[in-house]
Structure 1
């Protein structure tokens, strides 16, 4: 059995959405959490009806490949002080069967394990097993790097990533000779990022009205469309969305779209751009979801 990965991630507050403070330190024993447990109360005999409360969880993003571009999936992880470690472990587990059926895959080789993560001054150094470098051509090599970088940089104090394999810094990755002598970021993998990257909702999410949709986009004049369809393809809602930037510069978006359903069912959230040339749909992304009233 492989040893548990080392990490110097400090305590981060629990929450439902990605984005936690994870400043780190040089490699050392795990940092003591910033918060301490409350003093134990006097013992109380539980009533026969009492049941244990569920363990606290938080939602994080993990990033796979769909249509040869980065795509988002959601995972529930324990509300631990080391969310980046939990997120990478979830990434290495790969897409679910439902996500695979929707076209998601991973470029990360099976058997890759996490040795540890150190986060300091905006830089995450991730140490993976040597399996991470095995197999695949140039697209596969770039895609697996992008998956890790996107997953780590969802946390606001991680801006860049360095890679190690079995404790050794990587300067040239794989037989394709990909240079990793400098830290990399999401911008490094812009060519692998869809014009409209919807980070919420994700494939298979259960949603109810109003829908909160967020992500990044690099589209003409920063403008695109989102519509919500029911299982029969009928439009439940439509909204024009304007990102913070576009036309060659990736921006962010976060919009609330009102809609209602009367009963549970399946549906699709569709994001697309209208071509400036002929008005046709381009850069379309379809996200299957489940509705709850």
Structure 2
């Protein structure tokens, strides 16, 4: 009986997250709303090869952290010449900077600090992210054994990755 309740709770959680994403065609946004923080950088504003400076994702990327039960978008500069998907995901996995953690509305992360990023590739319009097993630290592998809190924590980790990667036009989903 408890496995059935856990399965229903998981489905409801996914449906709630999907419903909260909005429909771009209806004037909504696929990105969560909330506070955005842009910190000045001393890095030069160069464009990646083949991209013009000042054209959006070639210079910066949004990295989605958490603040309580909400998502917090933080702008990060992208290193020149580096793959934008890999750079944005690396910034996410590294977590908020001390300055971001100490901001008026602090940035937090649900992704464990010991998590390592192995690779980010694109298959069709889906970003495929390979991370170390630490990404699921503290979460039972068997969904039937997860508490509601563990399901929510895993959902938040996955949503941070999904929101960060779906900002790029070539990515519609992440796994």
Query: Which of the five TM-score ranges fits, normalised by the shorter chain?
Result: 0.5 to 0.7
RMSD: 2.0
Q: Which residue of 2 aligns with 1:147?
A: 160
Count of residues paired in the alignment: 115
Point out where structure 1 has 5 or more consecutive residues left out of the alignment: 1-10, 21-57, 163-293
Separation in 1, partners of 2:50, 2:164: 16
Match of 1:138 among 113, 128, 151: 151
Q: TM-score, normalised by structure 2?
A: 0.60
Separation in 2, partners of 1:73, 1:139: 22
Separation in 2, partners of 1:15, 1:140: 37
Separation in 1, partners of 2:96, 2:167: 18
SS class of match (1:132): helix
Q: Which has the larger radius of gyration?
A: 1
Q: Which residue of 1 aligns with 2:106?
A: 103
Mapping 1:90-239, distance limit 5 Å: 90-101=91-102, 102-135=105-138, 137-162=150-175
Q: Which residue of 1 aligns with 2:6?
A: none
* Matched-pair contact (CA < 8 Å) for 2:57–2:84: no
Quick check: which one's helix share is greater?
2
Q: Deviations over 1:237-285 (max 9, x none)?
A: xxxxxxxxxxxxxxxxxxxxxxxxxxxxxxxxxxxxxxxxxxxxxxxxx
Ranked by relative contact order (alpha carbons within 8 Å, sequence separation 6 or more), the top structure is: 2
Quick check: which one's strand share is greater?
1
Change in CA separation of 1:104 and 1:13 when aligned onto 2, cut-off 3 Å: same
Q: Deviations over 1:44-67 (max 9, x none)?
A: xxxxxxxxxxxxxx2111000013
